[in-house]
Amino acid sequence: MRASVGLSRWTVLATIAAGLVVTHCNKRLDEGSEAAAMTSASAAPSSTCTSTEYAKCESPAVQTVLKWFSATTPGEKAAMLYRPDANKAEFLDHTGMVFPQHVTVNMDGCGSRPMDGACQVILDKNEEGLDFVWLRITPNGACDACGAYRVDWKGTYVVNPMAMAAFQASMPTKPIVWRMNAKLDTYFNYEFLGQQASYYSFRVSDPRAPQKRLWTYAKKGTVDAEAMFQALSDGKESEVTVSIAYPVSRRSNEITKLVAYYGPGYLQTSREIADTTSDAGVR
């Protein structure tokens, strides 16, 4: 199921996984074992809990989500962010973001689909139509007690740096990270006209403005290009997180080049965070 969220600048588009379980965390984990930890689970009570009574919920993952929605200030929510060192300042810049203040969630806890150490808490009912929240194990395996979960707000709310219209108007040649829908394509034009033997063509769009399509071209034989090609080789449109930029010649506002492929889905990855917090010029 997919849902559009009535949040002034945000749209959430994702597929909800079936077979819900609760994930417990009872030992320190290094980053490489996060995904494995997410598959260690036990059954949870078959009931629901609301944001006004989160302390009664048995699942630490559910408690985290309900605490998130019961928070009344941006600062309270910022303290619950995944990788606050990399996300807090940007999150606080988005103070116009409206969060539903009352939700009902599944006591079943987290979805059974682990991805990069993440799990989903499914929302049964809320004021804005949001379907779920992505949770992450705390960074660097700092899991000292159950409930050590953080909210991946960029993955949950599909956070992009600007409107697609602004991106096309400014045509930046420095790379920018986007959470996009992408599909393998056969269109080659402008700087990449006749370059089928050397480049892959991908049609990409912002989930919030799918009618504004771009094409991004990836050099065949490079690690990122081949990884993105493999992920999209079935010809279906899929969710991806990428870094793209315009060629220096900037002949068309629909033609971009791939700088980095961070993986399928909208979750933050360690590589994305490293790129956007370094001096590499990625934002």
pLDDT, tens digit, 9 for 90 and up, residues 157-205? 899 999 999 999 999 999 999 999 999 999 999 999 999 999 999 999 9
Verify that 141 and 169 share a domain, yes or no: no
**Count: domains in the chain:** 2
d(CA 160, CA 20): 29
Q: Answer yes or no: is 87 within a domain.
A: yes
199 plus 244 within the same structural domain: yes
Tens digits of residue pLDDT in 44-85 = 333 566 766 666 666 777 888 888 888 888 898 998 998 888
Structural domain includes residue 273:
yes
Same domain, 54 and 85: yes
Amino acid at 50: T
Domain final position from 102, 137, 157: 157
Residue range of the domain that includes 146: 22-157
Mark whether 207 and 241 lie in a shared domain: yes
Cα gap 103→128, rounded to integer Å: 9
Q: What is the pLDDT of residues 24-48, one digit of tens each?
A: 222 222 233 333 333 333 333 335 6
Whether residue 172 is found in the same domain as residue 211: yes
DSSP letter string, the chain: ------BTTB----PPPSS-BEE---S---GGGHHHHHT-EE---S-EEETTSGGG-S-HHHHHHHHHHH--SHHHHHTTBSSHHHHHHHHHHTTT----S-EEEEEEEE-S--SSSEEEEEEEEESS---EEEEEEPGGG---STT-EEE-HHHHHT--SS-HHHHHHH--SS-EEEEEEEEEE----GGGTT-TTTEEEEEEE-TT-TTSEEEEEEETTSHHHHHHHHHHTT---EEEEEEEE--TT---TTEEEEEEEEEESS---HHHHHHHHSSS---
Whether residue 26 is found in the same domain as residue 100: yes
Residues 112 and 142 in one domain: yes
Identify whether 3 is part of a domain: no
Residues 187 and 141 in one domain: no
Domain CATH for 221: 2.40.50
Residue 7 has pLDDT above 60, yes or no: no
Query: Quick one: 144 and 168 in the same domain?
Result: no
> Which pLDDT score is estimated for 117?
67
Query: Is the domain of 208 the same as that of 266?
Result: yes
Using pLDDT thresholds of 50, 70 and 90, give the confidence band for residue 94.
confident
At position 180, the amino acid (one-letter code) is M
Together in a domain, 195 and 147? no
Same domain, 112 and 74: yes
Structure tokens at 145: 């007690």
Q: Is residue 13 part of a domain?
A: no
